[in-house]
């Protein structure tokens, strides 16, 4: 049986195909009971839109947690993405402590940075708090920029395998158990994902589509979690998520008006096929 109750904690960007509006449909399609805790409500995501509204929901989290605990609600997995504030990270750690079912997995996408820079809402205090969450999780899914912020290593556009190995080893030394490092490319036209687990490294290379696409990190992480909960190991889940994300980007190419996200909905049947459903 691979029907699990998962809690995903991230923002609702009402428009923009990221965070909860991506995670909820993907995890539901993967056949999982998907409970949500919105960290904030934004009119759009923050990567490219201007003048967006933000309502931070940090204050609501303690009462929601208390209620779930009173109802004896427990989760088989807790998966976090973009969070609203530093205080919220403390609350999320509390949720993981109090509401995890036995054997539950904590999966953290430290969604805070890309292309060498933090997203506009974040600062180094947020990075420090994210370290405490990421290094106590079972699985983390950083991109190279996020891995650099988590380890203090210098961000590089050009790198070799030794640089990636050092990044992974520093993450492991800091406490990360399984690391799924995304956006790792060694050759022109290719990118990929490097999975490090129990001292073993495995790399999956796939096509890199030139234009950067917003929201693909969220599509990737949700598809990874969905595959993991369908009894795949971390590497197998990383491969499925990569193949699905590439399809989503391909489905969006050629539509210049669709710069803010990817058309992941159109490729859900392909995702289900990859899951063998």
Toward ligand PXL, which CB reaches closer, 41 or 101? 41
With CB under 6 A as the contact rule, the residue among 83, 111, 225, 229 that binds ligand PXL is: 111
> Cβ of 114: how many Cβ atoms within 10 Å?
18
Contact 106, 100 (CB under 8 A): yes
Taking CB under 6 A as the criterion, which residues in 36-95 touch ligand PXL? Answer: 42, 45-47, 82
Task: Give the integer Cα–Cα distance in Å for 31 and 168.
Answer: 31
Counting contacts by CB under 6 A, is residue 146 touching ligand PXL? no
- Using alpha carbons only, give the angle 259, 55, 9 rounded to the nearest 5 degrees: 75
Three-state DSSP state, 50 = coil
CB 277, min distance to ligand PXL, A:
26
Taking CB under 6 A as the criterion, which residues in 199-218 touch ligand PXL? Answer: 215, 217-218
With CB under 6 A as the contact rule, the residue among 28, 93, 119, 263 that binds ligand PXL is: 119
Counting contacts by CB under 6 A, is residue 109 touching ligand PXL? no
Give the number of residues in contact with ligand PXL, rule: CB under 6 A: 14
Task: Give the integer Cα–Cα distance in Å for 199 and 88.
Answer: 31
Contact 25, 268 (CB under 8 A): yes
List interacting residues with ligand PXL (CB under 6 A): 11, 13, 18-19, 42, 45-47, 82, 111, 119, 215, 217-218
């Amino acid at each position: 049986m691979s029907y699990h109750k998962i809690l995903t904690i991230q923002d609702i960007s009402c428009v923009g195909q990221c965070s909860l509006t991506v995670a909820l449909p993907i995890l539901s399609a993967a056949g999982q009971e998907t409970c949500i805790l919105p960290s904030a409500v934004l009119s759009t995501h923050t990567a490219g839109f201007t003048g967006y509204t933000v309502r931070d929901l940090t204050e609501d989290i303690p009462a929601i947690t208390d209620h779930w605990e009173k109802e004896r609600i427990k989760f088989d997995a807790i998966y976090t993405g973009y969070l609203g504030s530093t205080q919220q990270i403390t609350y999320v750690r509390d949720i993981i402590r109090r509401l995890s079912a036995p054997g539950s997995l904590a999966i953290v996408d430290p969604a805070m940075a890309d292309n060498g820079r933090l997203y506009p809402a974040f600062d180094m205090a947020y990075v420090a708090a994210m370290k405490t969450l990421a290094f106590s999780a079972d699985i983390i899914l950083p991109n190279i920029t996020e891995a650099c912020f988590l380890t203090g290593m210098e961000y590089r556009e050009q790198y070799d395998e030794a640089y990636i190995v050092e990044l992974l080893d520093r993450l492991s030394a800091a406490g990360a158990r399984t690391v799924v490092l995304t956006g790792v490319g060694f050759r022109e036209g290719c990118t990929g994902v490097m999975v490090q687990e129990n001292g073993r490294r495995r790399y999956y290379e796939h096509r890199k589509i030139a234009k950067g696409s917003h929201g693909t990190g969220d599509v990737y992480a949700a598809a990874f979690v969905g595959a993991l909960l369908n009894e795949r190991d971390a590497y197998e889940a990383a491969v499925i998520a990569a193949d699905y994300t590439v399809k989503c980007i391909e489905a969006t190419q050629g539509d210049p008006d669709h710069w803010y996200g990817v058309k992941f909905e159109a490729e859900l049947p392909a995702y289900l096929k990859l899951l063998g459903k």
